[in-house]
Structure 1
C-alpha cells in the first residue's frame, strides 16, 4: 500500500469546499515554490561575451 502525505482523495473531494481548500493549498504551494525575478532595474545586466574554444584543439592552434 502506498503511503500518502495528507488526506486521501476520497476525503478531500467529499465536499466542494474541501476540494476548493485543497486546490487553494496546491496553488499557494506553487506560488511559494517559484522564485521571483530580480526587480532591480537600476543595475543593467552585465553580459560578457565568452569566446568559444575547441576542447579537442591542440594548444598551439588556440593561440
Structure 2
C-alpha cells in the first residue's frame, strides 16, 4: 500500500482536487508498481491564516 499526503491551501474546487487525486494515483501506481486500489491520497487543507511564508501569514499578504 502507498499513502500520499498532500498539504495545500484551501479554496480549490472539488473538481481540481478530484483531478489531483486521480493523477497522483496514476503516477504512483505506474512508478511504484502498485495497483490503483492500493494507492491512498490524503488531502490536508490549510486556511491562509494558518500558513506563513517569509514570516508573514498568507492572509496578511493578500491584504497588502
TM-score surpassing 0.5? Answer: no
Write 1 or 2 for the structure with the bigger share of helix: 2
Select the structure with the greater relative contact order (CA < 8 A; seq sep ≥ 6). 2
TM-score tier after normalising by the smaller chain length: 0.3 to 0.5
Structure with higher Rg: it is 1
Q: TM-score, normalised by structure 1?
A: 0.34
